[in-house]
Chains A and B, each alone.
Chain A
């Protein structure tokens, strides 16, 4: 097998910066350091706000049925309602154009207003806002389920093979290779085409069973290095069981890698779902998903572009914010990444350090 010679840990090149970093994190637990680093990552914070606002809007918009109970949504239409197609205010010969207007009055627009059908209507008059909300619900659901299933399997497989090594590792890694040989989109299409009618949860579960491979390799690598560290030896000498070492000593240290790759798997998953639905192997009509909406209306792009724009923009917003959150988490968990210091802060800290050095 391939063995990498142990990398020499890179010493901090700038001792002053190192000292500042230590000063910043003095007396804080690992969790607190990670949280504060994450909170300072501007892209990730904006993404978290955007994503949670979006999820809130998307999941409360429509009526929901939980068994016999019906929870009303705040949006007036449902995906099944077919109000009359809007004619007035639309370009010549085009029906059901969107009523959303955002151009402020002093620029000659009509100020902000959502009107009756902000995203317009589809060809039979269904409210497109309701359809897009329904599609986004589906896509987010698929994304989360795939992330959970793939995260769980990937972590377990990676952890077991990295910790126990030997023949268990060999078998599990060959099994991983075996799953990798089957391109996800091929297996997804085969499954989606034949079992797509079993519902969206089934589809997501199945896709999750085939998207954990990259994650398991990363987790395995992390476990392989962590189990050689002194604190694991110390725990073993103190008589800790394998179970305890895995859950109490190694897993907390590997959680960064796991969380980051789960977020990246999730952003890949939403694109996978939309791609499969686009090809007709994912979510099938009458159910709605963002990819399905795009594929249904791509030919009407020249005449009724809104049918095409809104689902696409929603996909991008969701995937982009998940990606940024993942990036923020990676920066926060990576101890080698030092927060970029502005010139001012660096100068202040250096003078502070100099003063301290003098007084000592």
Chain B
């Protein structure tokens, strides 16, 4: 195993060496960064030219210059990593250090949402194979595959951001919207929970009426202008979460698990006001971290008290519930910050921005304001990226689950009398996750360099922007810096994916000799 990893690493280094050499020379011969200065007769231009040549070692021919660059990179092993200088004369390392966190911030949430949504929808549509829901989701997935992201981005800016900001002036939902959204929700739920005709109609009716009532209430109370959950709604949602998590994780017949997870929303209610006080007195990420730790500890303790045997699944269920309830409490706090945030001068009642990564007019003293600001700036790019990438997860998880459901061990599980929940969640779902994990690892790496267009459209200054700048300005060191990061991540991710696959799936073994 160790030998295998070493050999793979060795090959990776050779590959990286080769591809960086080729890209370097390709980019170097295709343009001269000093072209504009060479023709100029201005004496100052001459000085600039010399400075540029000195900075970028332009007097060395490209194949040799590559090795100067390589020496800087190899310096990373002795602690002096040097990506060279940009044509403005400052270190590429600094540019990269500021760009990478931005890109990760931009991408991370979208990827997580896309994975969760995509896998959920994919699994539901595999379980309802050849139903109308399945066909509809297949169509949606293909439509998403075919959308150019810059086109979606412009539409989102117009129809989501600007319209939503206009909507917030009144915060009342028109009857047409209420009707439309309740019809859609009825059709959606009827498709998800399929059955015979009368059941489908019943579900359709319930879902449509429920969503119509909900949106009417939201509209009448102008909820969107001053959103918030409050302790009672939080409790109700928490109980719903507890039931759902228990149903999926252990099944409702496990009374101990159900009781332990139902205790979580109750704790949430009891500690609602003290927690609100803490949120205002000690805002910051450290508070959220500490609270998360406390929540999980409480959850584990509760689960242990409630369970006598078979503790593992009960602890798991309770912890998942507690984290979700804690998340809801955080969302509640952010919602309560919404109205004061909107009324600040910097926002001026138009909260959803169409571009940029933060509002410079907003001060940095209020933690909740800056968090909301980050979230509203992430809103449009996240939706755009999610739309584009979740289609892949739908198709992939659907295909994998269908493959798994055809396996002999699923038939064995059914034959020995396990209920459908156990068969799906324990036997099928877990095995579906094996190939999905490897895809996810590779995707995360690819995404660091892959948001070039999204950054461009939404005006974020991340890796994509650096890359764009590098190409347009013939900035070779900057280009190679971006390339080096993305290429290294992508080859490493492939290696990690292979290793993960063999760790997760015992049928696949790593063989040390080729």
Give residues in A with beta carbon < 8 Å to B.
1-5, 8, 10, 13, 43, 170, 174, 177-183, 185-187, 189-191, 193-195, 267, 271, 274-275, 278-279, 281, 291, 294-295, 298, 301-302, 308, 312, 315-316, 318-320, 323-324, 327, 340
Contacts and interface: CB of A to CB of B under 8 A. Distances in A.
23 contacts: A1-B511, A2-B501, A2-B508, A174-B11, A174-B15, A177-B494, A181-B491, A183-B449, A186-B449, A191-B26, A195-B30, A267-B146, A274-B148, A275-B149, A279-B456, A294-B154, A308-B154, A312-B151, A315-B148, A315-B151, A320-B145, A327-B138, A340-B130
Nearest to A6: B507
Contacts of B419: none
Closest 7 CB pairs of A and B: A319-B146, A194-B30, A312-B151, A320-B146, A181-B487, A340-B130, A323-B142
Q: Which of B130, B139, B148 has the most CB of A within 10 A?
A: B148
A323 B138 CA distance: 11
User: Of A178, A185, A274, which is in contact with the most chain B CB atoms at under 10 Å from its CB?
Assistant: A178
Contact of B146 (A5, A174, A278, A316): A316
Given A181-B491, A278-B150, A316-B146, A190 B408 contact: no
A324 B453 contact: no
Contacts of B23: 182, 186-187, 190
Chain B binding site: helix, strand, loop or mixed by DSSP?
helix
Most buried by A among B22, B26, B151: B151
Nearest to B406: A10
Nearest to B145: A323
Nearest to B8: A1
B509 interface: yes
A14 B449 CA distance: 47
A194 B148 contact: no
Contacts of A294: 148, 150-151, 154
Contacts of B154: 294, 298, 301, 308
B202 to A, nearest CB: 22
Given A294-B150, A320-B143, A320-B146, A193 B511 contact: no
Report which residue of A170, A174, A182, A195 has the largest number of chain B beta carbons within 10 angstroms of its beta carbon.
A182
Contacts of B452: 185, 189, 279
Nearest to B502: A2
Interface stretch (B36-44, B63-71, B464-472): B464-472
Contact of A271 (B27, B139, B146, B407): B146
Contacts of A340: 130
A182 B487 contact: yes
B15 A181 contact: yes
A316 B139 CA distance: 13
Kindly state the interface size class of chain B when it binds its partner.
Answer: 35 or more
Contacts of A312: 148, 151
B393 to A, nearest CB: 16
Contacts of A298: 150, 154
Contacts of B509: 2-3
Given A181-B15, A182-B19, 16 more contacts: A3-B511, A4-B508, A10-B406, A177-B11, A185-B449, A185-B450, A186-B449, A189-B452, A279-B468, A294-B150, A294-B151, A294-B154, A315-B146, A316-B146, A323-B145, A327-B142
A247 to B, nearest CB: 29
A143 B395 CA distance: 23
Interface string B127-167: 00010000000110011011111110010001000000000
B367 interface: no
A189 B471 CA distance: 8
A185 B146 CA distance: 17
Contacts of A275: 148-150, 453
A189 to B, nearest CB: 5
A291 B147 CA distance: 12
Contact of A281 (B149, B471, B486): B471
B490 A316 contact: no
A194 B31 contact: yes
A275 B494 CA distance: 25
Contacts of B471: 189-190, 193, 281
A4 B507 contact: yes
B97 interface: no
A181 B19 contact: yes
Contacts of B510: 2
B18 interface: yes
B171 interface: no
A5 B15 CA distance: 28
Contacts of A13: 406, 411
Interface string B87-131: 000000000000000000000000000000000000000000010
B142 A324 contact: yes
Interface string B477-498: 0010011001100110010001
B511 A183 contact: no
Given A4-B508, A186-B486, A281-B471, A271 B148 contact: yes
Contacts of A319: 145-146
A2 B15 contact: no
B110 to A, nearest CB: 17
A181 B490 contact: yes
B78 interface: no
B27 A190 contact: yes
Nearest to B509: A3
Contacts of A4: 507-508
Contacts of A10: 406-408
Nearest to B129: A340
Contacts of B508: 2-5
A1 B490 CA distance: 19
